[in-house]
Amino acid sequence: MRKLLIAANWKMYKTPTESTAFLTSFFPLVKNIETAEIVLCPAMTSLTALVDAARGKSVCVGAQTMHWLNEGAYTGETSPTMLTAIGATHVLIGHSERRQYFNETDTTVNLKLKSALAHGLVPIVCVGEHLNEREQNLTADVLNLQVSVALEGIDAAALAPLVIAYEPVWAIGTGRTATPEIAEDAHKIIRTKIASIAGSDVANATRILYGGSVKPDNARSLCCLDDIDGALVGGASLEPTSFSQIIANAT
Ligand code: PEP
Protein backbone atom coordinates (compact mmCIF):
# COMPACT_ATOMS: atom_id res chain seq x y z
CA MET A 1 0.00 0.00 0.00
CA ARG A 2 1.63 3.27 -1.10
CA LYS A 3 0.91 6.36 0.98
CA LEU A 4 -0.29 9.31 -1.07
CA LEU A 5 2.27 12.12 -1.24
CA ILE A 6 1.34 15.69 -2.13
CA ALA A 7 4.28 18.04 -2.54
CA ALA A 8 4.36 21.79 -3.05
CA ASN A 9 7.09 23.31 -5.20
CA TRP A 10 7.18 27.01 -4.32
CA LYS A 11 9.96 27.73 -6.82
CA MET A 12 11.44 31.24 -6.36
CA TYR A 13 8.47 32.59 -4.41
CA LYS A 14 7.92 33.49 -0.72
CA THR A 15 10.24 35.03 1.83
CA PRO A 16 10.66 33.24 5.20
CA THR A 17 7.88 35.40 6.67
CA GLU A 18 5.57 34.62 3.76
CA SER A 19 6.40 30.92 4.04
CA THR A 20 5.48 30.66 7.72
CA ALA A 21 2.38 32.82 7.16
CA PHE A 22 1.28 30.21 4.61
CA LEU A 23 1.43 27.52 7.31
CA THR A 24 -0.60 29.59 9.74
CA SER A 25 -3.40 29.92 7.19
CA PHE A 26 -3.02 26.40 5.82
CA PHE A 27 -3.42 24.31 8.99
CA PRO A 28 -7.00 25.37 9.82
CA LEU A 29 -8.02 24.69 6.20
CA VAL A 30 -6.47 21.32 5.55
CA LYS A 31 -8.48 18.13 6.02
CA ASN A 32 -7.29 14.51 5.88
CA ILE A 33 -3.74 15.62 6.51
CA GLU A 34 -2.86 12.26 8.11
CA THR A 35 -3.93 10.23 5.08
CA ALA A 36 -1.24 11.79 2.89
CA GLU A 37 2.39 12.79 3.27
CA ILE A 38 2.48 16.55 2.74
CA VAL A 39 5.80 18.07 1.70
CA LEU A 40 6.48 21.78 1.27
CA CYS A 41 9.53 22.74 -0.82
CA PRO A 42 10.26 26.44 -0.30
CA ALA A 43 13.22 28.48 -1.48
CA MET A 44 16.49 27.68 0.35
CA THR A 45 16.26 30.87 2.42
CA SER A 46 12.90 29.77 3.87
CA LEU A 47 13.85 26.21 4.77
CA THR A 48 14.92 26.84 8.35
CA ALA A 49 11.92 29.02 9.20
CA LEU A 50 9.53 26.51 7.68
CA VAL A 51 11.15 23.51 9.38
CA ASP A 52 10.79 25.32 12.72
CA ALA A 53 7.18 26.32 12.04
CA ALA A 54 6.24 22.79 10.91
CA ARG A 55 7.87 21.00 13.86
CA GLY A 56 5.45 18.55 15.48
CA LYS A 57 2.90 19.04 12.70
CA SER A 58 2.08 16.57 9.93
CA VAL A 59 4.01 18.43 7.28
CA CYS A 60 7.51 17.74 5.96
CA VAL A 61 9.87 20.27 4.47
CA GLY A 62 12.10 19.65 1.46
CA ALA A 63 14.56 21.49 -0.73
CA GLN A 64 14.09 22.20 -4.43
CA THR A 65 17.59 21.06 -5.32
CA MET A 66 20.99 20.30 -3.80
CA HIS A 67 24.56 19.51 -4.78
CA TRP A 68 25.65 15.88 -4.49
CA LEU A 69 28.84 16.61 -2.52
CA ASN A 70 29.05 17.35 1.20
CA GLU A 71 31.21 20.44 0.84
CA GLY A 72 33.58 22.18 -1.53
CA ALA A 73 34.30 25.27 -3.56
CA TYR A 74 30.91 25.41 -5.32
CA THR A 75 29.67 28.97 -4.93
CA GLY A 76 25.95 29.22 -4.45
CA GLU A 77 25.35 25.52 -3.86
CA THR A 78 23.81 23.72 -0.89
CA SER A 79 24.95 20.28 0.23
CA PRO A 80 22.93 17.32 1.51
CA THR A 81 24.54 17.58 4.95
CA MET A 82 23.50 21.24 5.12
CA LEU A 83 19.92 20.20 4.37
CA THR A 84 19.78 17.40 6.93
CA ALA A 85 21.46 19.65 9.52
CA ILE A 86 18.52 22.06 9.41
CA GLY A 87 15.87 19.33 9.39
CA ALA A 88 14.89 19.14 5.73
CA THR A 89 13.68 15.61 4.94
CA HIS A 90 12.98 15.62 1.19
CA VAL A 91 14.63 17.00 -1.91
CA LEU A 92 13.46 17.58 -5.49
CA ILE A 93 15.97 16.31 -8.01
CA GLY A 94 16.11 17.14 -11.71
CA HIS A 95 13.08 19.41 -11.95
CA SER A 96 12.61 20.41 -15.59
CA GLU A 97 13.39 24.06 -14.73
CA ARG A 98 16.70 22.90 -13.24
CA ARG A 99 17.37 20.87 -16.39
CA GLN A 100 16.37 23.77 -18.67
CA TYR A 101 18.02 26.74 -16.94
CA PHE A 102 20.80 25.21 -14.82
CA ASN A 103 22.18 22.48 -17.05
CA GLU A 104 21.10 19.54 -14.94
CA THR A 105 21.33 16.28 -16.83
CA ASP A 106 20.38 12.68 -16.26
CA THR A 107 23.96 12.15 -15.07
CA THR A 108 23.79 14.86 -12.38
CA VAL A 109 20.36 13.53 -11.41
CA ASN A 110 22.02 10.15 -10.83
CA LEU A 111 24.76 11.70 -8.66
CA LYS A 112 22.19 13.67 -6.65
CA LEU A 113 19.94 10.65 -6.21
CA LYS A 114 22.82 8.55 -4.87
CA SER A 115 23.77 11.35 -2.51
CA ALA A 116 20.22 11.97 -1.26
CA LEU A 117 19.74 8.27 -0.52
CA ALA A 118 23.10 8.09 1.28
CA HIS A 119 22.08 11.04 3.48
CA GLY A 120 18.61 9.78 4.32
CA LEU A 121 16.80 12.45 2.31
CA VAL A 122 13.67 11.32 0.46
CA PRO A 123 14.44 12.02 -3.20
CA ILE A 124 11.67 13.19 -5.51
CA VAL A 125 13.18 12.65 -8.96
CA CYS A 126 11.44 14.59 -11.70
CA VAL A 127 11.16 13.16 -15.20
CA GLY A 128 9.03 14.07 -18.21
CA GLU A 129 9.00 14.63 -21.90
CA HIS A 130 8.88 17.88 -23.91
CA LEU A 131 5.95 18.55 -26.22
CA ASN A 132 7.94 17.84 -29.39
CA GLU A 133 9.02 14.50 -27.94
CA ARG A 134 5.41 13.55 -27.21
CA GLU A 135 4.37 14.65 -30.69
CA GLN A 136 7.08 12.43 -32.18
CA ASN A 137 5.91 9.46 -30.11
CA LEU A 138 9.10 9.51 -28.06
CA THR A 139 7.54 9.72 -24.60
CA ALA A 140 8.34 6.13 -23.61
CA ASP A 141 11.92 6.41 -24.90
CA VAL A 142 12.50 9.65 -22.98
CA LEU A 143 11.04 8.32 -19.72
CA ASN A 144 12.87 5.01 -19.98
CA LEU A 145 16.19 6.78 -20.52
CA GLN A 146 15.65 9.31 -17.73
CA VAL A 147 14.69 6.59 -15.25
CA SER A 148 17.44 4.18 -16.22
CA VAL A 149 20.24 6.77 -16.02
CA ALA A 150 18.83 8.13 -12.74
CA LEU A 151 18.94 4.66 -11.15
CA GLU A 152 22.26 3.55 -12.64
CA GLY A 153 24.58 1.89 -10.14
CA ILE A 154 22.13 2.05 -7.23
CA ASP A 155 21.42 -1.12 -5.31
CA ALA A 156 17.75 -2.11 -5.31
CA ALA A 157 17.85 -2.34 -1.50
CA ALA A 158 18.73 1.37 -1.28
CA LEU A 159 15.76 2.47 -3.36
CA ALA A 160 13.01 2.08 -0.77
CA PRO A 161 12.56 5.85 -0.21
CA LEU A 162 12.52 6.68 -3.94
CA VAL A 163 9.75 8.92 -5.24
CA ILE A 164 9.43 9.78 -8.93
CA ALA A 165 7.45 12.76 -10.21
CA TYR A 166 6.18 12.44 -13.76
CA GLU A 167 6.01 16.02 -14.98
CA PRO A 168 5.39 16.41 -18.71
CA VAL A 169 7.26 19.64 -19.49
CA TRP A 170 4.39 20.88 -21.68
CA ALA A 171 2.06 20.75 -18.67
CA ILE A 172 4.21 22.68 -16.19
CA GLY A 173 2.89 26.16 -15.49
CA THR A 174 0.87 26.12 -18.73
CA GLY A 175 -2.59 25.30 -17.43
CA ARG A 176 -2.50 22.34 -19.82
CA THR A 177 -2.88 19.25 -17.64
CA ALA A 178 -2.22 15.74 -18.90
CA THR A 179 -5.44 13.77 -19.16
CA PRO A 180 -5.74 11.01 -16.55
CA GLU A 181 -5.22 8.47 -19.39
CA ILE A 182 -1.97 10.14 -20.54
CA ALA A 183 -0.70 10.40 -16.98
CA GLU A 184 -1.63 6.82 -16.05
CA ASP A 185 0.01 5.52 -19.20
CA ALA A 186 3.26 7.39 -18.44
CA HIS A 187 3.22 6.22 -14.83
CA LYS A 188 2.88 2.60 -16.01
CA ILE A 189 5.87 3.07 -18.33
CA ILE A 190 7.92 4.42 -15.41
CA ARG A 191 6.86 1.64 -13.02
CA THR A 192 7.62 -1.03 -15.61
CA LYS A 193 11.06 0.48 -16.15
CA ILE A 194 11.79 0.54 -12.42
CA ALA A 195 10.70 -3.11 -12.23
CA SER A 196 13.08 -4.07 -15.03
CA ILE A 197 15.98 -2.35 -13.23
CA ALA A 198 15.30 -2.98 -9.54
CA GLY A 199 12.62 -5.67 -9.44
CA SER A 200 8.89 -5.62 -8.97
CA ASP A 201 8.98 -5.18 -5.18
CA VAL A 202 10.84 -1.88 -5.54
CA ALA A 203 8.61 -0.82 -8.46
CA ASN A 204 5.43 -1.58 -6.53
CA ALA A 205 6.68 0.35 -3.49
CA THR A 206 7.85 3.43 -5.43
CA ARG A 207 5.50 6.35 -5.32
CA ILE A 208 5.03 8.05 -8.66
CA LEU A 209 3.53 11.54 -8.46
CA TYR A 210 1.94 13.49 -11.29
CA GLY A 211 2.95 17.12 -11.76
CA GLY A 212 1.83 19.69 -14.31
CA SER A 213 -0.94 22.21 -13.72
CA VAL A 214 -2.58 20.24 -10.91
CA LYS A 215 -5.50 22.27 -9.56
CA PRO A 216 -8.31 21.62 -7.08
CA ASP A 217 -10.66 20.60 -9.91
CA ASN A 218 -8.41 17.99 -11.52
CA ALA A 219 -6.68 16.57 -8.43
CA ARG A 220 -9.28 13.88 -7.83
CA SER A 221 -9.41 12.50 -11.37
CA LEU A 222 -5.60 12.20 -11.42
CA CYS A 223 -4.92 10.96 -7.91
CA CYS A 224 -7.63 8.28 -7.90
CA LEU A 225 -5.82 6.23 -10.56
CA ASP A 226 -3.97 3.02 -9.68
CA ASP A 227 -0.49 4.13 -10.68
CA ILE A 228 -0.72 7.76 -9.52
CA ASP A 229 0.38 8.12 -5.92
CA GLY A 230 0.03 11.83 -5.43
CA ALA A 231 0.96 15.14 -6.96
CA LEU A 232 3.77 17.66 -7.26
CA VAL A 233 2.09 21.04 -7.37
CA GLY A 234 3.64 24.34 -8.44
CA GLY A 235 1.44 27.39 -8.98
CA ALA A 236 -1.63 26.07 -7.14
CA SER A 237 0.44 25.30 -4.03
CA LEU A 238 1.26 28.95 -3.39
CA GLU A 239 -2.15 29.73 -1.90
CA PRO A 240 -3.25 27.87 1.26
CA THR A 241 -6.83 27.66 -0.04
CA SER A 242 -6.06 25.99 -3.35
CA PHE A 243 -3.37 23.71 -1.91
CA SER A 244 -5.67 22.53 0.89
CA GLN A 245 -8.44 21.91 -1.65
CA ILE A 246 -6.07 19.81 -3.75
CA ILE A 247 -5.27 17.73 -0.67
CA ALA A 248 -8.95 17.37 0.21
CA ASN A 249 -9.86 16.32 -3.33
CA ALA A 250 -6.93 13.95 -3.72
CA THR A 251 -7.39 12.07 -0.46
C1 PEP B 1 6.11 22.18 -10.90
O2 PEP B 1 6.75 23.20 -10.92
O3 PEP B 1 6.63 21.13 -10.48
C4 PEP B 1 4.73 22.20 -11.38
C5 PEP B 1 4.11 21.06 -11.52
O6 PEP B 1 4.20 23.44 -11.63
P7 PEP B 1 2.65 23.76 -11.98
O8 PEP B 1 1.80 22.98 -11.00
O9 PEP B 1 2.52 25.22 -11.81
O10 PEP B 1 2.41 23.29 -13.37
Q: What is the three-state SS of the chain?
A: CCCEEEEEECCCCCCHHHHHHHHHHHHHHCCCHHHEEEEEECCHHHHHHHHHHHCCCCCEEEECCCCCCCCCCCCCCCCHHHHHHCCCCEEEECCHHHHHHCCCCHHHHHHHHHHHHHCCCEEEEEECCCHHHHHCCCHHHHHHHHHHHHHCCCCHHHHCCCEEEECCHHHCCCCCCCCHHHHHHHHHHHHHHHHHHHCHHHHHHCEEEEECCCCHHHHHHHHCCCCCCEEEECHHHCCHHHHHHHHHHHC
**Is 216 within 8 Å of 242 (Cβ atoms)?**
yes
pLDDT band at 139 (very low <50, low <70, confident <90, very high): very high
Question: Ligand 1, atom 3: nearest CA belongs to which residue?
Answer: 234
Residue 251's pLDDT is 87
Ligand 1 pocket check for 123: Cβ under 6 Å: no
Q: Is 96 in the pocket of ligand 1 (CB under 6 A)?
A: no
128 is in an annotated binding site: no
**For all residues of the chain together, what is the average pLDDT?**
96
Note the pLDDT tens digit of each residue in 102-115.
999 999 999 999 99
Predicted pLDDT of residue 69 = 98
Give the pairing of strands 122-127 and 207-211: unpaired
- Give the SS3 label for residue 38: strand
The percentage of the chain sitting over the pLDDT mark of 90, rounded to a whole number, equals: 91
Specify the pLDDT at position 194: 98
Query: pLDDT tens across 52-104, in order?
Result: 999 988 899 999 999 999 999 999 999 999 999 999 999 999 999 999 999 99
ipTM of the complex: 0.98
- Distance from C-alpha of 225 to C-alpha of 230, rounded to nearest angstrom: 10
Q: What is the CATH number of the domain that holds 182?
A: 3.20.20.70
pLDDT at 168 over 80: yes
pLDDT for the residue 12: 98
Residue of 46, 166, 17 lying closest to 95 (CA atoms): 166
Residues labelled as active-site residues: 95, 167
| Interval 6-20 mean pLDDT | 98
Per-residue pLDDT for 187 more than 80? Answer: yes
Higher pLDDT pick, 33 / 37: 37
* Rounded Cα–Cα distance for residues 176 and 141 (Å): 22
Rg (CA), the chain: 17
Domain count, the chain: 1
pTM over 0.90: yes
The whole-number pLDDT of residue 71 equals: 97
237 marked ligand binding residue: no
Give me the domain span that covers residue 169. 4-250
Q: Does 13 have pLDDT greater than 90?
A: yes
Which residue's alpha carbon is at the smallest distance from atom 2 of ligand 1? 234
CB-ligand 1 contact for 108 (6 Å cutoff): no
CA distances from 48 to 20, 38, 42 (A): 10, 17, 10
